[in-house]
Homo-oligomer: A and B are copies of this chain.
Amino acid sequence: MKPLLALALALVAAAPALAQDVTRHRIPNSDFPIARAVEVPAGRTTVYVSGAVPPVQDANAPATSIARFGDTRTQTVNTLRGIERTLRDLNLTHGDVVKMQVFLVGDPDRGGRMDFEGFMAGYREFYGTAAQPNLPARSVMAVAGLVNPGWLVEIEVTAVRP
């Protein structure tokens, strides 16, 4: 083989794996709709999205009330719709999300515990569906508060370009 050709072939081997897929590892023996881990090969563009919060749902409710933004399920759906718009503006979709962190605030109507079931109901509209089966690596926690006391939900995602 000509040295230059050998060099070129070596470069092909070393080049970033543009064609390589993101691998979403399933949780063994579980159908819970998150990935156990998501593997992003070299050569991908990473998009870090700022934490997203819910839009106003009821403009007549007081500015810092939960009623203004809705319950946890409503805030989850509206926040994920907002993320969807952000991703769309960047030519991405929820299917490109590889990592998600969810920050929930305790619901006074549930003794101050976070409404995890309400969050999951909203989440399942966007992840693990027939139309959008791609699952992110995810962490969920209750935080002590968000910037607006009416917010029960903040969601931060990281995506990679397909």
Contacts and interface: CB of A to CB of B under 8 A. Distances in A.
B18 A139 contact: no
B113 A139 contact: no
**Number of chain copies forming the complex:** 3
A12 interface: yes
Interface string A114-142: 10100000000000000000001111111
Contacts of A61: none
A161 B46 CA distance: 14
Nearest to A156: B139
A128 B44 CA distance: 28
A45 B39 contact: yes
Nearest to A85: B28
Interface in A23-47: 25, 27-28, 34-47
A162 interface: no
A140 to B, nearest CB: 6
Contacts of A62: none
A149 B11 contact: no
Given A7-B8, A11-B12, A16-B15, A49 B137 contact: yes
29 contacts: A7-B8, A8-B8, A8-B11, A15-B16, A16-B42, A27-B50, A28-B89, A35-B50, A36-B50, A37-B50, A37-B86, A38-B47, A38-B48, A39-B45, A39-B47, A40-B46, A42-B43, A42-B44, A48-B136, A51-B139, A101-B156, A114-B144, A114-B147, A116-B147, A139-B156, A141-B143, A142-B143, A142-B144, A143-B144
